[in-house]
Amino acid sequence: MWSPLVSIIIPSYNRESLIGETLTSIIKQTYTHWECIVVDDGSTDRSMEVLRQFQEQDNRIKVFSRDRLPKGAPMCRNIGLAKASGDYVIYLDSDDVLAPFCLEQRVTLFQENSGCQFLVFKALLFKKEVNDADRVWNIETDENDLVRFLRMDALWQTTGPIYKRDYLMKMNGFKEELPFWQDFDLHLRCLFSGAVYKKFFDHPADYYIRTGRTDTISRSTAFTANSDILAARIKYYYELILEIEQFPYAEKEQMGKVVNSTLYFFCAQFLMRFSKPREFIRYWNRAQVLSTCKYSSTSLSIAYAFLLKLALRYSLFTKLVVRYSKLFDSSLPDYYIWDKSRLEKVRIDLSSTKQSEY
């Protein structure tokens, strides 16, 4: 039976204390026809020494240094993709690990679903030890996948998919110029492209994501704490509005509502976090010009933002916010776009408990 080659691509930066665990999890794979391409991003610690030692122990591990700008995980991943020889590709972060059966499970299911461009699998989250993993990323619901991504409920993380390499090449890999959301952007582009894919969230989680670290390449960008980054996120969503407007999706109206609600969340940060009402009005009005999904007047939008701010600080105001949003119904952004704890609670409640596969 044909045994496809799987290319595992890892960007790495100052990972001398963690990269060994990541690479060991690859060496322990029950499926052995793989290559691991590690692209170092200019480490200043002993990472390269550790990587060279693993390369000497196993010639399936190939170590490279980033040889062009810009610095960052997207560039390293794209360099890795250019050097990959595999039929299939998996991206892995340098502080995460694979379950021993990961590649075997994915290759077997890809051979049974050869018409797909990619398949998606779930992960477990851990802080210190893999056996402490107690939450899943992510869970299946009845909601449309693209709609969930648009409201920042990402169904899968970087390592979730296994791709056909040819398909990734057609998608041009990661956008190297993006200062954030590079994997989010790739997933969205795949969904917008109409790719054929399947999710296997009913199968055992086959990789583990380390949480709680702030020094990762992909997780160090402030979400809303920096006004320049916040403005860039808003402009990114402006482009999504235009993307949605161009396609006759059955869920187009719902997508428009979700994108506008998410945009409102970002725009309102200028009012709530930075006390800049003019910036809030400027960015929010621009969103309304671009979108066919219209909302209420600026004054009502400002009042709604203040109510949301109170609700986030004082739970007594939550019911008032919900009533306010229902009063204007379609003319106000969805209140639940703010309730990120609701997602985490669901994931904790439905997560697998400690596993013994690792």
Last residue of a domain, one of 184, 210, 236: 210
Q: Which residues neighbour 322 within 8 Å (Cβ) at sequence distance 6 or greater? A: 335
pLDDT of residue 172: 95
Q: Are 244 and 197 found together in one domain?
A: no
pLDDT of residue 252: 80
Q: Are 44 and 87 found together in one domain?
A: yes
The answer to the question of residue 351 being in a domain is: no
Q: Are 337 and 264 in contact (CB under 8 A)?
A: yes
Q: What is the mean pLDDT of the chain?
A: 85
Beta strand ranges found along 184-291 (DSSP E): 197-199, 207-210
Tell me how far CA of residue 314 lies from CA of 116, 189, 284, in angstroms. Answer: 47, 38, 25
- Helix 252-272 and helix 298-313, axial crossing angle in degrees, nearest 10: 70
Q: Specify the number of domains making up the chain.
A: 2
The answer to the question of residue 141 being in a domain is: no
pLDDT of residue 218: 43
Asked if the model's pLDDT at residue 200 lies above 50, the reply is yes
pLDDT of residue 115: 97
Asked if the model's pLDDT at residue 181 lies above 80, the reply is yes
Q: Are 130 and 206 in contact (CB under 8 A)?
A: no
The answer to the question of residue 136 being in a domain is: no
Most confident region among 62-71, 205-214, 243-252 by mean pLDDT? 62-71
How much of the chain, in percent, has pLDDT values that exceed 90? 53
Q: Are 96 and 244 found together in one domain?
A: no
Q: Are 344 and 271 in contact (CB under 8 A)?
A: no
Q: Which residues neighbour 314 within 8 Å (Cβ) at sequence distance 6 or greater? A: none
Could you tell me the pLDDT band of residue 219, with boundaries at 50, 70 and 90?
A: very low
pLDDT of residue 8: 98
Q: Are 194 and 241 found together in one domain?
A: no
Asked if the model's pLDDT at residue 358 lies above 70, the reply is no
Q: Are 195 and 246 found together in one domain?
A: no
- DSSP 8-state symbol, 100: T
How much of the chain, in percent, has pLDDT values that exceed 70? 82
Read off the amino acid at residue 33: H
Q: How far is the C-alpha of 299 from the C-alpha of 348, rounded, in Å?
A: 38
Task: Average the pLDDT over 182-204 and give the result.
Answer: 95
- Domain extent, residue 45, equals 6-121+156-210
pLDDT tens figures, 303-317: 777 777 677 677 767
Asked if the model's pLDDT at residue 159 lies above 70, the reply is yes
Residue 34, H or E segment: strand 34-40
Q: Are 240 and 315 found together in one domain?
A: yes
Q: How far is the C-alpha of 163 from the C-alpha of 147, rounded, in Å?
A: 21
Task: Average the pLDDT over 10-18 and give the result.
Answer: 96
- Helix 277-290 and helix 252-272, axial crossing angle in degrees, nearest 10: 170
Most confident region among 22-36, 210-224, 271-285, 343-357 by mean pLDDT? 22-36
Among residues 185, 163, 167, which one has the least CA distance to residue 175? 185
The answer to the question of residue 217 being in a domain is: no
pLDDT of residue 151: 85
pLDDT of residue 217: 41
Could you tell me the pLDDT band of residue 250, with boundaries at 50, 70 and 90?
A: confident
The length of the chain in residues reads 358
pLDDT of residue 210: 92
Judged by DSSP in three states, 146 sits in helix
Q: How far apart are the first and last CA of the chain?
A: 27
Q: Are 62 and 117 found together in one domain?
A: yes
CA dihedral angle for residue 346, residue 348, residue 351, residue 355, rounded to 10 degrees: 180
Q: Are 178 and 286 found together in one domain?
A: no
